[in-house]
Structure 1
Amino acid sequence: MLLSFDVFGTLINVRESSYDAFRTILSECGRPDVDVRAFWEYWEERNISHYWETYRPYKEICALSLGEAFAHFDVAGDPGAISRYFDAFSDFQLYPDVLSTLENLSRRHRLAIVSNIDNDLLAATPLQREFDLVCTAEKARG
């Protein structure tokens, strides 16, 4: 049997792991007063809405969504600042029970990850283990 897992939000605590990058983005735009959690949630909502459109790389979706979040929160900023978020991937944290759970499951099952991410960003993410199958949106083009 093959068990598949999403990565971001399931194995990786993406919200807590990325707030500092978004604080930096807002600070660099001169808007440290904007609530980072509200900003991040709006940005993520926009990302999700774009997943249903014609395929485009995750990095493009993130930049587009950042521009939309800037407009929504009246922040003057360059969507290219999303690179701060991408730079944070190598510091993302697994939820505390992930490694032990995956280890236990791997004794009886093959493990896969399926993620709506670009290959290089997944490769930068510290998953701390190998998986039997890896499928990204970039590989699937969707």
Structure 2
Amino acid sequence: MTRFESVKALVFDVFGTVVDWREGIARDAAPVLARLGRRDIDPRAFADAWRKRYQPAMEECRSGRRPFTRLDVLHRENLDGVLQDHGIDPATLGEAVLEDLNRAWHRLDPWPEAVAGLTRLRRKFTLAPLSNGNVALLTNMAKRAGLPWDAILGAEVAQAYKPQPEAYLRTAEILGIRPAELCLVAAHNGDLKAARACGLATAFVHRPTEHGPDQSTDLAPSEAWDAVAKDFQDLAHQLGC
């Protein structure tokens, strides 16, 4: 029996695996930077700088130094910080502009084959995000992008940020299945390693341009994951969907 014969649900890392965060953030940041007269700031570099604050902000919650705080709040704090790093006073933009730019994370586009691949996978498996995103963010993203989730589970449901074990184990519990019946699909080896340690099945999907054309991380699987696919369509083919 293959590992996937016992799998009932596939859960997905979202930022980078399902959607292209870098291009989406750059698209929404570009007109704001232009309005400020800051054409010296590359919008993609701005997106990278904003994203660079992502893990340190969540680590404050993971470590217990800060209570669990949903990602929309962390993103907004990080936005203020990255603007200040570029010599921009966030107050000059006004609250409405800041909030709209922060919601760029709700408006990210899926990778070109993602929706079609997910639709195929849904024929055989229950699908849900296993993301550090919050429920409102993931709901708005799914609505706009047409992501065919069966359930939307944000990080605040598990009250934990990956790679904390609770993020994976509580997701299985919420879905009413054993960890061995759950598979994480991700483009990030570290995420998959944490999921495997919790007893989940694992599927690596290549996203070699998540960080742009010069990406140097997660270009290949670091371990013998249960499945390795070039994209979601390839994964659907491998899993008989």
State the TM bucket, normalised to the shorter chain.
0.7 to 0.9
CA radius of gyration, larger in: 2
**Identical pairs, percent:** 25
Aligned to 1:64: 77
- C-alpha RMSD over aligned residues: 2.3
Q: Is residue 26–residue 34 contact of structure 1 (8 Å, CA) maintained in 2? A: yes
Is 1:83 aligned to 2:99, yes or no?
Answer: yes
TM-score (norm 1): 0.82
Aligned to 1:18: 25
Q: Is residue 31–residue 75 contact of structure 1 (8 Å, CA) maintained in 2? A: no
Q: Is residue 86–residue 121 contact of structure 1 (8 Å, CA) maintained in 2? A: no
Aligned to 2:46: 39
* Cα deviation, residue 89, structure 1: 5.5
Is 1:27 aligned to 2:23, yes or no?
Answer: no
> Which consecutive residues of structure 1, in runs of 5 or more, have no partner in the other structure?
none
Q: Is residue 23–residue 44 contact of structure 2 (8 Å, CA) maintained in 1? A: no
> Which consecutive residues of structure 2, in runs of 5 or more, have no partner in the other structure?
1-6, 62-67, 161-241
Q: Separation in 2 of the partners of 1:101 and 1:20?
A: 25
2:149 aligned to 113, 121, 131, which one? 131
2:133 aligned to 114, 117, 141, which one? 117
Q: Separation in 1 of the partners of 2:11 and 2:69?
A: 23
Q: Separation in 2 of the partners of 1:59 and 1:45?
A: 15
Greater relative contact order (CA < 8 Å, ≥ 6 in sequence)? 1
Q: Separation in 1 of the partners of 2:147 and 2:75?
A: 26
TM-score (norm 2): 0.52
* Cα deviation, residue 48, structure 1: 2.0
